[in-house]
Structure 1
């Protein structure tokens, strides 16, 4: 006679089908997984409810009855371990899917943050008055990379003076970053103009 299924009041804890008679290793493995889930719900809230002691008792009794039915088998431990090994990938797949989805959403959020940061910087610098005391916001390159962090590590451009003080190497690096399809001109003043337009500070471009 097969081991009777526990009648549970917790909707999220359900045994899918009646175990075989005698129960096979997969039946035992699933029973212990069910017991572990019940134990977890005894500790953590789920939708504002805790699992009842009665449900935990029913699941524990069910799992014990299944294992007891197979105690005459000397290889039961190895069979249960093998069954758990076969069952766990399927049980963990939804978790892996959730992790992948969260990673994808985080990557998209980071792109949005960098895109918004570029727009904010361009807008701020575009409204900047053409004075020597003006302040600039850092503007990411068109590929949304921050020029002041790796792999670029360029000096921050917070003012017109900071641009004027750029060395030849850093100045050309900024030109390449903001205008990837252009070759940096040999004339320093032309390079400075390109950097100013790259950060949106059109009012500071000197003819």
Structure 2
């Protein structure tokens, strides 16, 4: 058998064995989840239409950039410079601000803010939604490896080192078995 082919075959086997023994780190794949809806990022000047409840309450949810509820997040509603309502998100990220009137308002939670036009049920256009959604976080600042942290980097480096050791061990242990006296070439002149 050709020595190069033998080395390649054993390297592939060693790599497969390391892959079976060492489970992949969670940074590469997480548990299967339901498909998330597509999130559109709107320009800051976009005004979103909200249909108030019959009681006049403005309801909505506050979530982080992963869609998890932002428990305890403070929501502030302003008209101009005047605060006209506020609430705190519950364990589901839901909030309710009672007794709102129609008009254009600035809604803020943390560093996230947006312009909303509140409508009554009778006057709301068909595009008005029954609740607001505030997404907290640094939109667009995430990267594939931006959140693996020191533990993830250590895990990847350890895996790479194990692969290198396994390939070297297989090549060294099995590489010498194919060498015969006929295949050794020496550079010493007679």
Which structure carries more helix by proportion?
1
TM over 0.5: no
Q: Compute the TM-score of the two structures, normalised by the length of structure 2.
A: 0.30
Which structure carries more strand by proportion?
2
Higher relative contact order (CA 8 A, sep 6+): 2
